[in-house]
Amino acid sequence: MCWSATADLVAGAGVIVIGVACVARPPRARDLPLASLPLLLGAHQIVESAIWRSGGGSGTATLVWAVIALPLLALWVPLGVLCAAPPTARRRLSVPLAAGIATAAALSYSLATRPVSADIRGHTLGYVLDLALPELLVAGYLLATVGALLLSGDRWLVLLGVLVAVGAAVCVALWRTEFISTWCALAAVCSVVLLGWARRRPPAAG
């Protein structure tokens, strides 16, 4: 998600530090999945640093990267938002959760039955996975992740949803030019917003 192995490693470590801060103040148990998301994003970047160092390919690190980026996040984000949301928002959040379950199942099947590979393209890493109905999967992925945040009813999470949507569009545009990968910067900004959200949540009782 960054432009080099070193950048991925440093950015990943920084995002993990933010993740530790998110969960350091004991939140309510139902907030933990979302509060711990930066820990997952940081680990994801550290995995990618290993892919850079190996020159790409289709090894274990590439598969782990794809599992986190595709089915795991498609399920983790809407489930985390649903857990943290007030009861009044849970009915509408069932839609992105259902999209996340269906999308994660389809992506998991693809990863289990088809090879995934990575190759270095300028200052970016390109990942290749043969997906059936890719447009439908992208739509389901966006509904599950961005949609859940926008429908959360929490101003911090709505802000996060807007940042993810706009930031992802910018990152994709830069990534396609093979000029530079800026996903790590987006992950860092999103993690800071989650830290703000986590700090304003009421602490766990007792």
Tell me the C-alpha distance between 15 and 170, whole Å. 20
The reported pTM is: 0.91
- pLDDT attached to residue 177: 57
- pLDDT attached to residue 204: 57
Which residues of the chain have a pLDDT value below 70?
1, 26-27, 171, 173-182, 202-206
- pLDDT attached to residue 179: 47
- pLDDT attached to residue 37: 96
Tally Cβ neighbours within 10 Å of residue 131: 17
Residue 69 near residue 44, CB atoms below 8 Å:
yes
- pLDDT attached to residue 75: 97
- pLDDT attached to residue 206: 43
Tell me the C-alpha distance between 64 and 44, whole Å. 8
- pLDDT attached to residue 200: 83
